[in-house]
Structure 1
Amino acid sequence: MAAGKEDLVTLDVEKGRELGLSQADLVLLTETGLPRVAGGHFCADIPDGPLGLFTVRPLDEDDRALILGGTGPDGDMLYFLDVNEGSVVLLSRGDEDEEPGFEIVNTTLEAFAEFVRRLGAYVDAPRAERPADDKTRLAEIAAGLEELDPEAFRHPHCWWAMVVAHHRREAARRERAHSPAETHSEAFDRALDRLDEKGWRHVTGKEFASATDEYGLLTLPDDISDAFSADGGLRRDVDVRWRGGLPSEIQSAFAWEGLVVRVPEDEPEDEDDFEAAMERLRAAAHGSQEPDEGIVTWLAAAETSDLCRILRAFERLAAKGYVAEPALWPTTSGCWQRVAELTEDVESPRAVFWNTQSHDTAFDTRGDLVNELYLGWAGDREEIAGALAETELAVRVPAHEGTTFILGPAVRT
């Protein structure tokens, strides 16, 4: 049975000795204890039973597992101490027809306890008035934890790396909602945050060169800091190398922050080869082919683009509850599926979007309209039309729900 202070759980000393715990692990579990609840990633109040708190289960003939708690109160994902190895493992029990999953999350129990304590303190602390301060504090915590147990961060899909990424994305979203970026440097960081939320990963040039079969990679020039002035202004164009994704997604992420990115010019295609083009787009989205790669360029001293203007309108619609997304998916049917996943009211969705194919044919390389852009929509037609009219582009309003909004290049006089 667990015993201890109200906010801690401790292991019975005799039980710990019978297990043959190391002296360090014995002291930690029987004297120091583990928090009863820490943030949203550790909970000792799990269901009783064969896998209840501090129960012991065999791992093999010579080793045993001591259940330490779960990621939540349901007990679906449990942490246990490998008694012989001293490491902490995360058990994902899965459904009845699924094999359980195992991941070593920390190399020592001491490291595990520190991860739980420090990240729990971050989550439970009052939010800073400036979300950027929370991002800074979280970065400092993550750096300290990585120094303590580097193996926990060996890959972005490791458990604790994903926990940290989740909290960083939450802080980034609050930061964007709090106030607009004040400098190019800050806007650049926010654009990278948006790409991170969509699954892109910023890596070093060395990792980029070696990870030739991975998707969603971005790498920046080694001298990226020299591109900014002391006050955060952009001094020169910046090339961003990418692999395994869609350049339109990168261009759109930057445009949300008012930044103009030039993407590579598409190779001319046979007009009759539409299906082949769509297949390439679907493959890029699903990761079913060798990853493409290329370079996009963030342009210094660039005038705003039509894409930036449209996304300012989308931002106003999003504030009213719309799912407003550029280049949402390669196909329109896939876009509607994503809308269903993102909307709060499935019965009466409000949305405005375009698909990847429309993006690639409607915009030039810097994000200005050169052809018609077709927008799928649901909701208040007049409300959407009013927001789009502020772009000063040509707007064709649909006569009924079965047709799309159409944006065209502005008529220049």
Structure 2
Amino acid sequence: MVAGAEDVITLDAGQAGELGLSETDRVLLTETGLPRVAGGPFWADIPDGPLGLFTVLPLDGDNRALILGGTGPDGDMLYFLDVREGVVVLLSQGERPEFEIVNTSLTAFAEFVRRLGAYTRSERPADDKARLAEIAAGLERLDPEAFRHPHCWWALVVAHHRREAARRERALAPARSRREAFYRALDRLDEKGRRLVTDKEFASETGEYGLLTLPDDVPDAFSADGALLRDVDVRWRGGLESEIQSAFAWEGLVVHVPEDEPEDDDESFDAAMERLMAAANGPQEPGEGIVTCLAAAETSDLCRILRAFERLAAKGYVAEPALWPTTSGCWERVAERTADGEPPRAVFWNTQSHDSAFDTKGDLVGELYLGWAGDPEEIAAVLAGTELVVKTPEDEGTTFILARG
């Protein structure tokens, strides 16, 4: 039975007594209650039925599960209390249901829901990321097991909010210093699934993809006012250098990537593409390397092109560098980001074009072929701002081409 004020739900005291809840859990559920809608990761308004709110289900032996709510109003992912053990578990329904202990106690779960719900519903101040970091640190102190791995549920929830905060920050104003630009570039890589880890974690997680690590003394590379005083190395494992170089170029920073090893003249196109796809996605052991953010470099052709891409994105285009290793894969990603029923509007290049068109610092040494959809005159006018030679397509079946004069 559900009772309580409009914004709080409580468990019937009689049902709580029948369940044999611990005193702490009984008081929390029957007197304090849970928010009806916390926002973000918790909803008590889930569909009625065999898995409805406060439904009791059998577990092993005489143990039982009490449904507490879901991650959304559809009820596809549900939280339940393991009555005997006192832990809160997340159930992901499907052909093969999956279970994950998300909190070691109901008290911790309720506090996670309360704090993250309050954050979700609040206005976004200028120090949004710092405020979120403070909330996350407090939650980790409360229940360290909830953050034991970056793929744990609450760690993923916090990471999602951090990415949203980073996007809002970028939309409000450009970076005020090169230090801020540097960390915004790392935020962009985080949004693409690249994880910043400590040097120790990097050394131990040898089979993991998408890892980045920085020198321990990276704060010393910046002055008090945020100027970049010296080059900074970024070590990576499992990914593509073009993706890292582009993330920094979005923020106006020049990254040097190592010279490519001489290509095997006998390597077929299919073999080359297989090698490129494997570098991005496996299944072989993840490649690794070092790229360097340059202190002395002011800008590059890549930086100028991405400033134009920002203007195209503001006009509603999917404008992305090195979007995918293959052109067909690029179009699939454009389709994913195009509203149903709307014609695609996009400008992009693929990873292979990136590697052949740019030098190690992001300046063009060859022609850059841009896939596109939309208004060619509008695209050409924006690209003209790069001060590069813009070759416009003759028809929809040919590409834009950017090159140096």
TM above 0.5, one fold?
A: yes
Q: Structure 1 pair 347/271, CA: closer, same or farther in 2 (3 Å)?
A: farther
Is residue 387 from structure 1 mapped to residue 403 from structure 2 by the alignment? no
Is residue 244 from structure 1 mapped to residue 241 from structure 2 by the alignment? no
Please say if residues 212 and 237 of structure 2, whose CA atoms lie closer than 8 Å, have aligned partners that are also in contact.
yes
User: Counterpart of 2:84?
Assistant: 84
DSSP 3-state at the match of 2:230: coil
Deviation readout 1:142-200 (Å, 9 max, x if unpaired): 00001111111111111111111111111111111100001011101110110000000
Please say if residues 340 and 346 of structure 1, whose CA atoms lie closer than 8 Å, have aligned partners that are also in contact.
no
Looking at structure 1, the residues matched to 248 and 166 of structure 2 have their Cα atoms a distance apart, in angstroms, of: 15
What is the count of residue pairs matched by the alignment?
A: 404
Of the three residues 364, 379, 382, the one matched with 2:359 is: 364
User: Counterpart of 2:224?
Assistant: 230
Counterpart residue type for residue 143 of structure 1: A
Is residue 333 from structure 1 mapped to residue 334 from structure 2 by the alignment? no
Looking at structure 1, the residues matched to 338 and 265 of structure 2 have their Cα atoms a distance apart, in angstroms, of: 35
User: Counterpart of 2:170?
Assistant: 176
DSSP 3-state at the match of 2:2: coil
Of the three residues 303, 308, 311, the one matched with 2:306 is: 311
Q: Structure 1 pair 345/81, CA: closer, same or farther in 2 (3 Å)?
A: closer
- The answer for unaligned runs of 5 or more in structure 1 is none
Is residue 105 from structure 1 mapped to residue 102 from structure 2 by the alignment? yes
Q: Structure 1 pair 225/2, CA: closer, same or farther in 2 (3 Å)?
A: same
Looking at structure 1, the residues matched to 164 and 341 of structure 2 have their Cα atoms a distance apart, in angstroms, of: 24
Output aligned runs, 1:273-352, within 5 Å: 273=267, 274-344=269-339, 347-352=342-347
Q: CA deviation at 1:284?
A: 2.2
Of the three residues 98, 121, 126, the one matched with 1:124 is: 121
Output aligned runs, 1:16-55, within 5 Å: 16-55=16-55
Please say if residues 69 and 79 of structure 1, whose CA atoms lie closer than 8 Å, have aligned partners that are also in contact.
yes
Looking at structure 2, the residues matched to 118 and 219 of structure 1 have their Cα atoms a distance apart, in angstroms, of: 30
DSSP 3-state at the match of 2:3: coil
Looking at structure 1, the residues matched to 347 and 149 of structure 2 have their Cα atoms a distance apart, in angstroms, of: 36
Looking at structure 2, the residues matched to 321 and 62 of structure 1 have their Cα atoms a distance apart, in angstroms, of: 57
Deviation readout 1:66-100 (Å, 9 max, x if unpaired): 11111112111110000111100011112xxx111
Deviation readout 1:281-302 (Å, 9 max, x if unpaired): 1112222111000000000021
Counterpart residue type for residue 20 of structure 1: G
Of the three residues 181, 189, 194, the one matched with 1:195 is: 189
User: Counterpart of 2:369?
Assistant: 374
Looking at structure 2, the residues matched to 44 and 345 of structure 1 have their Cα atoms a distance apart, in angstroms, of: 30
Q: CA deviation at 1:322?
A: 0.4
Please say if residues 41 and 71 of structure 1, whose CA atoms lie closer than 8 Å, have aligned partners that are also in contact.
yes
Looking at structure 2, the residues matched to 285 and 383 of structure 1 have their Cα atoms a distance apart, in angstroms, of: 33
DSSP 3-state at the match of 1:386: helix
More displaced stretch, 347-356 vs 10-19: 10-19
More displaced stretch, 5-14 vs 352-361: 5-14
Looking at structure 1, the residues matched to 279 and 204 of structure 2 have their Cα atoms a distance apart, in angstroms, of: 20
Is residue 406 from structure 1 mapped to residue 401 from structure 2 by the alignment? yes
Please say if residues 64 and 83 of structure 2, whose CA atoms lie closer than 8 Å, have aligned partners that are also in contact.
yes
Counterpart residue type for residue 90 of structure 2: L
Counterpart residue type for residue 235 of structure 2: R
Q: Structure 1 pair 9/283, CA: closer, same or farther in 2 (3 Å)?
A: same
Looking at structure 2, the residues matched to 284 and 291 of structure 1 have their Cα atoms a distance apart, in angstroms, of: 7
Counterpart residue type for residue 160 of structure 1: W
Q: CA deviation at 1:407?
A: 1.0
More displaced stretch, 390-399 vs 178-187: 390-399
Counterpart residue type for residue 377 of structure 2: E
Looking at structure 2, the residues matched to 316 and 293 of structure 1 have their Cα atoms a distance apart, in angstroms, of: 33
Deviation readout 1:315-336 (Å, 9 max, x if unpaired): 1101000000000000000000
Please say if residues 331 and 356 of structure 1, whose CA atoms lie closer than 8 Å, have aligned partners that are also in contact.
yes
DSSP 3-state at the match of 1:303: coil
Give me the TM-score of the superposition, normalised by structure 1: 0.96
Q: CA deviation at 1:138?
A: 0.7
Looking at structure 2, the residues matched to 374 and 364 of structure 1 have their Cα atoms a distance apart, in angstroms, of: 15
CA root-mean-square deviation: 1.1
Please say if residues 47 and 75 of structure 1, whose CA atoms lie closer than 8 Å, have aligned partners that are also in contact.
yes
DSSP 3-state at the match of 2:163: helix
Looking at structure 2, the residues matched to 346 and 256 of structure 1 have their Cα atoms a distance apart, in angstroms, of: 30
Counterpart residue type for residue 184 of structure 2: R
Q: CA deviation at 1:347?
A: 4.0
Looking at structure 1, the residues matched to 387 and 368 of structure 2 have their Cα atoms a distance apart, in angstroms, of: 14
Of the three residues 131, 138, 153, the one matched with 1:137 is: 131
Looking at structure 2, the residues matched to 303 and 24 of structure 1 have their Cα atoms a distance apart, in angstroms, of: 60
Looking at structure 1, the residues matched to 58 and 359 of structure 2 have their Cα atoms a distance apart, in angstroms, of: 62
Deviation readout 1:182-220 (Å, 9 max, x if unpaired): 101110111011000000000000000000000000000
Q: CA deviation at 1:343?
A: 2.1
Q: CA deviation at 1:275?
A: 2.2
Looking at structure 2, the residues matched to 372 and 309 of structure 1 have their Cα atoms a distance apart, in angstroms, of: 15
